Amino acid sequence: MPERVPLAWMAWSSGKDSLWALHLVRQSNTCEVVGLLTTVTEAFGRVSMHGVRESLLFAQAEALGLPLHRVPIPTPCSDDDYESLMDKAMAEAKALGVTGIVFGDIHLAGVRGHREKQLARAGMRGIFPLWGRDPAAVAHEMIDSRVGAYVTCLDPRKTPRDLAGHAFDAELLARLPEDVDPCGENGEFHTFVWEGPGYAAPIAVELGETVERDGFVFTDLLPTGG
């Protein structure tokens, strides 16, 4: 009888790195991902930082065939409030037999260290399938594997404004300034994945309004129902 792999949740941002990390752990069978964990800014009903509508978040969960575990956060959200909400989410995960959280982080050691510290406090472990990979290689790997994504949020101090709403493709990579991480690992840009490995079907979306808010440029994505 084959050994049972540990259960995990995927820290799901709605973007490309989350999808690729999920794809890799499913291929390697290092754990069984049984749910998606996403923070949602409660006042706006959108994925935190990425600015994606909750309706599209639920569409992703349906396409992946995984239950969605939302963590609604206030705005503004203090570190204490955030940690308290995540502690509750981890308690829920443990009650369901989950022992690990999968992340799409690639090389930010400070971010990983903070995550592992918080997880250890909850008796959980972090799983980082993309860790230590070359971001450019990862970006091209995703594009070559037909991961379909749009830029939903960018930092105009680092990334050209007109790339908001652009497809995550070879053209986008070619237009990024040399000091911008090809995967946006430093927060230069964020994406929404509408198609990729593990999806039962693509998610039909169209580009909406582009606005600037709190120093970032957001392009809304609208479900088309097609």
What token pair was written down for 49? 């930082």
- pLDDT surpassing 80 at residue 3: no
Q: pTM for the full model? A: 0.94
Question: Which of 163, 199, 204, 211 has the alpha carbon at shortest distance from 184?
Answer: 163
Enter the tokens of residue 1.
Answer: 């009888």
Q: How many Cβ atoms from other residues are within 10 Å of residue 179's Cβ?
A: 8
Residue 62 gets which letter from DSSP? H
Confidence tier at 47 by pLDDT (50, 70, 90): very high
Judged on CB neighbours under 10 Å (0-12, 13-18, 19+), 171 is exposed
pLDDT tens-place string over residues 82-132:
889 999 999 999 999 999 999 999 999 999 999 999 999 889 999 999 999
More confidently predicted of 117 and 42 = 117
d(CA 65, CA 68): 10
The topology (CATH level 3) of 7-223 is Rossmann fold (3.40.50)
| CA 20 and chain centroid, separation | 9
Quote the strand ranges of 20-121, DSSP E.
32-41, 46-47, 68-73, 98-102
Counting runs of H as helices and runs of E as strands, what totals does the chain give?
Answer: 6, 10
Strand-pair category, 148-154 with 98-102:
unpaired
